[in-house]
Amino acid sequence: MSFISESSQTRVPCYRVLEDDGDLISDCDFQQVSKEVAVKMYSNMVTLQIMDNIFYEAQRQGRISFYLTSAGEEAISIASAAALSEQDIILPQYREPGVLLWRGFTLQEFADQCFGNKADYGKGRQMPIHYGSKKHNFFTISSPIATQLPQAAGIAYSLKMDNKKACVVSYIGDGGTSEGDFHAGLNFAAVMEAPVIFFCRNNGWAISTNVSEQFRSDGIVVKGRAYGIRSIRVDGNDALAVYSAVSAAREMAINEQRPILIEALTYRVGHHSTSDDSTKYRQLDEIVYWKKARNPVNRFRNWVQNIGWWSERQETQLRNSVRKQLLEAIQMAEKTEKPPLSELFTDVYDHPPSNLEEQEKHLRETVTRHPKDYPSDISV
């Protein structure tokens, strides 16, 4: 009689291309990137970094209600997006604005969504950072954790049925793997042989819950084998490693019609969101270490600069330009009027039912009776 051991003698290795200082690891196999792609990747990482800083401060000033950053995880969304095709469908969690940025979502569009104005595609009905874009094949972010994974499996199966040369990519955090939808999504995709990449950002923390309290397994990557899914662990702070892994995963998912699981090891440098103070549950020196010694933006900059594709002059110009554009976008978003009250009741029913019409009537009467309790810039 022999039981399968609860764990392997050795941990699953982590695929890396760059050292922490940006030097190439010797004899490392990786997907080559052109100068154009590399410069765009780095520029987008810097743009995302600046966007996060300014929007975070805007929330602290009371100008928007909520925000969360991608600090420490910039390489994941940007590098993975660079390895995909525009036809690939994205089902995000909520820390992937870099994918939209790569695909051409403008700073003005980001600002309009965060301010919930008339130009927001969600018509002001979503929390800030819950972006979505049909044009960019980017499903609208929703707060419930892991619900996008079974959906991704189903969408990928539809691509398979239509013989499309595309795949689905669904992102999730390490905490989301404790949800039942994670297991349902992986099992469904494996059984149906759906072309989907499940991309897990293992950043160490599910809000205040450390990974040591989430699972006893060797991270997330080993969970793929349990469902018969090919898997890889990658350094999520290494842009070239992420780009190479996703490039290979996409090729396998489409050509072999199979799901792939990617676990990216990283660290959430910022607080979970503007509603969180992470210094209450983790050491400040731990945060500082990852922010400085393991910074993915600095790491990739060293590489592009060392091979002569980037300079200090370009760095200064980029940062000044992005900051200027973003401040102008925020000013424009603040000036743009809010959606009318009627938009709260549209886009669900073809013909609104009587109970919804009654609610709308009651709301209008309430606003009319108590005008000082409601924003004056909303059209009734």
Question: Quick one: how many helices (H) and strands (E) in the chain?
Answer: 12, 7
Tell me how long the chain is.
380
Which residue in the block uniquely carries the two structure tokens 């991608």?
Answer: 70
Please pick, among 7, 8, 85, 143, the residue that the annotation labels catalytic. Answer: 143
Task: Say if CB 74 and CB 98 are below 8 A apart.
Answer: yes
Rg (CA), the chain: 22
Torsion of CA 245, 169, 261, 243, to 10 degrees: 10
- Going by C-alpha positions, the residue among 248, 319, 234 that lies closest to residue 42 is 319
- Of these residues, 57, 256, 328, 365, which one is catalytic? 57
Any catalytic annotation for residue 86? no
Of 219, 225, 180, give the one whose Cα is nearest residue 200: 219
Strands 209-210 and 205-206: antiparallel
CA 199 to each of CA 146, 157, 172: distance values in angstroms, whole numbers, following the listed order: 12, 17, 6
Helix, strand, coil tally for the chain in percent (to 5): 45, 10, 45
143 as an active site residue: the answer is yes
Q: Does 362 participate in catalysis according to the annotation?
A: no
Contact 267, 290 (CB under 8 A): yes
φ and ψ of 138, to 5 deg: -125, 105
183 is catalytic: no
User: Which residues are tagged catalytic?
Assistant: 57, 143, 272-273
